[in-house]
Chain A
């Protein structure tokens, strides 16, 4: 469904991603592991259209989307949750969610139905619907950005470090939710530093180091390869 070939990403003179290739099949949950600075987030943001690709190709269902803008990627069915957990702090929770359905804004009934469904799935957001998003806790904000991304009815979800900075019990809830999304048939590319968690939910995994892919395989293969641990486990080991 999503195919990346020989992708390069540069920040001025610094090359963050060096010719990586990866693919995510329909309904698959693939995790991209690696230490800080390995180029995982750069890869994800480039797929999302928020950063230009210096070289290489990104294809979605066979269509070349390498140069697509972020707004076009959303219309093509790719929703992104960046690691910075960007809620709009001054907007209320329900305004944040409505914004997630921007591309469906002419379908008011469909948006309302989707909103009801998601509020049922995330009761904490229903409780806080009228509150400014900036007043939510870190875990609640993570729920909000994921729910907001789902408002666009994506086929592919790009998730960047959903566990970052959250308490362990909240991390467990976030990963339960990710498994739920996979069970619903969503295709997910998950960037994680928390390798154990990532491998526990993923079908397949890629391990990145210094902008290159060092290893790939099923989640079980990667988890079972002791020589890879030093690459992706980092501070988490």
Chain B
């Protein structure tokens, strides 16, 4: 075991987890509803990469297409699964978001293939670099860099722009924000667009690790995002990021310390630790803003 390698592993995995969690919690914070179709936004990003793979475009242009499609489908989630039933009941939205998730997965099964499809990756993703005597894949460092840049930019936008301030306000008290003239639909659509943007970025980084996309690719990121936000505090954006890094720390530590034949039960150990954390801090590590009315 090497300290530098451990650190890079935790930070790169944590960066991916933190982004996944942030994309889920941005919608949850405002609607108090988990978007179960979130994983499919990552899938959409992946299949877009596959579909534009043969086009001969430069990789960055293809990546941009993937992100744009994820944003489009994010906003579509709002229009198809949330907006028509939002005012009616929580159960209805839960079911429509499941339905939209299943619909997208089945569309991928039907129109593309149940088998893994290769996505184009730039050469740099498979290169390695030596840092302090440790050989590390470049994609891990790219993941860290992307997360740092994105989180920095995101934090700045949420503080410096009126729309960002409105998003934060709406997460605390949605009705009060509306009584100041902040349109509900604008805030909700923006949240879904940001969720899609993050899903698009995650799809590039996540699928970059395996190089292929399958219809159920979004399931694991959704689960990771969900657990990370539960640990970090469902209603706090910094909490989601913290939860992502903590979950990565747990996963990586177990990877390093568990003996070979126990490694396949790693998730059982992870979840046991998550339960312990929740027994200690049932509301998650970071408490959200004081008032928590559903809208």
Binding site for B on A (CB under 8 A): 48-50, 69-71, 73-75, 79-80, 82, 86, 88-91, 95-96, 98-103, 105, 134, 148-149, 152
Q: Are A100 and B178 in contact (CB under 8 A)?
A: no
A-B contact pairs, 19 of them (CB 8 A): A49-B178, A50-B175, A71-B179, A71-B183, A74-B179, A79-B179, A82-B179, A86-B291, A90-B168, A90-B172, A90-B289, A95-B168, A96-B169, A98-B162, A99-B166, A99-B177, A99-B180, A102-B182, A152-B180
Q: Are B176 and A91 in contact (CB under 8 A)?
A: no
Q: Identify 19 new A-B residue pairs, CB closer than 8 A, beyond the known A79-B179, A102-B181.
A: A49-B178, A50-B178, A69-B184, A70-B179, A71-B182, A74-B181, A75-B181, A88-B176, A88-B289, A89-B172, A90-B289, A91-B168, A99-B177, A102-B166, A103-B181, A105-B163, A149-B180, A152-B180, A152-B181
Interface SS majority for chain B: helix
Binding site for A on B (CB under 8 A): 162-163, 165-166, 168-169, 172-173, 175-184, 289-291
Nearest chain B residue, comparing its CB with the CB of A52: B87
A170 to chain B, nearest CB (A): 22
B195 to chain A, nearest CB (A): 21
Nearest chain B residue, comparing its CB with the CB of A103: B181
Q: Which of B169, B176, B183 has the most CB of A within 10 A?
A: B176
Given contacts A50-B178, A70-B179, contact A95 B165 (CB under 8 A): yes
A-B contact count (CB 8 A): 75
Cα of A134 to Cα of B172 in the assembled complex, Å: 12
5 nearest A-B pairs in the assembled complex, by CB-CB distance: A74-B181, A103-B181, A70-B178, A86-B176, A105-B162
> When the two chains form the complex, which single residue of B180, B289, B291 contacts A100, counting CB atoms closer than 8 Å?
B180
Q: Are B169 and A99 in contact (CB under 8 A)?
A: yes
Residues in B with CB closer than 8 Å to A90 are 168, 172, 289
Q: Are A148 and B162 in contact (CB under 8 A)?
A: no
A121 to chain B, nearest CB (A): 19
Cα of A148 to Cα of B177 in the assembled complex, Å: 11
Q: Are B175 and A88 in contact (CB under 8 A)?
A: no
Residues in B with CB closer than 8 Å to A69 are 178, 183-184
Residues in B with CB closer than 8 Å to A91 are 165, 168-169, 172
Cα of A91 to Cα of B163 in the assembled complex, Å: 13
> When the two chains form the complex, which single residue of B162, B184, B289, B291 contacts A99, counting CB atoms closer than 8 Å?
B162
Residues in B with CB closer than 8 Å to A96 are 169
Q: Which of A99, A100, A149, A152 has the most CB of B within 10 A?
A: A99
Residues in A with CB closer than 8 Å to B179 are 48-50, 70-71, 73-74, 79-80, 82
Residues in B with CB closer than 8 Å to A82 are 176, 179
Q: Are A89 and B165 in contact (CB under 8 A)?
A: no
Cα of A91 to Cα of B168 in the assembled complex, Å: 8
Q: Are A148 and B180 in contact (CB under 8 A)?
A: yes
Q: Are A89 and B169 in contact (CB under 8 A)?
A: no
Nearest chain B residue, comparing its CB with the CB of A75: B181
Q: Which of A79, A88, A134 has the most CB of B within 10 A?
A: A88
Residues in B with CB closer than 8 Å to A103 are 181
Q: Are B291 and A98 in contact (CB under 8 A)?
A: no
Residues in B with CB closer than 8 Å to A99 are 162, 165-166, 169, 177, 180, 182
A70 to chain B, nearest CB (A): 4
Nearest chain A residue, comparing its CB with the CB of B290: A89
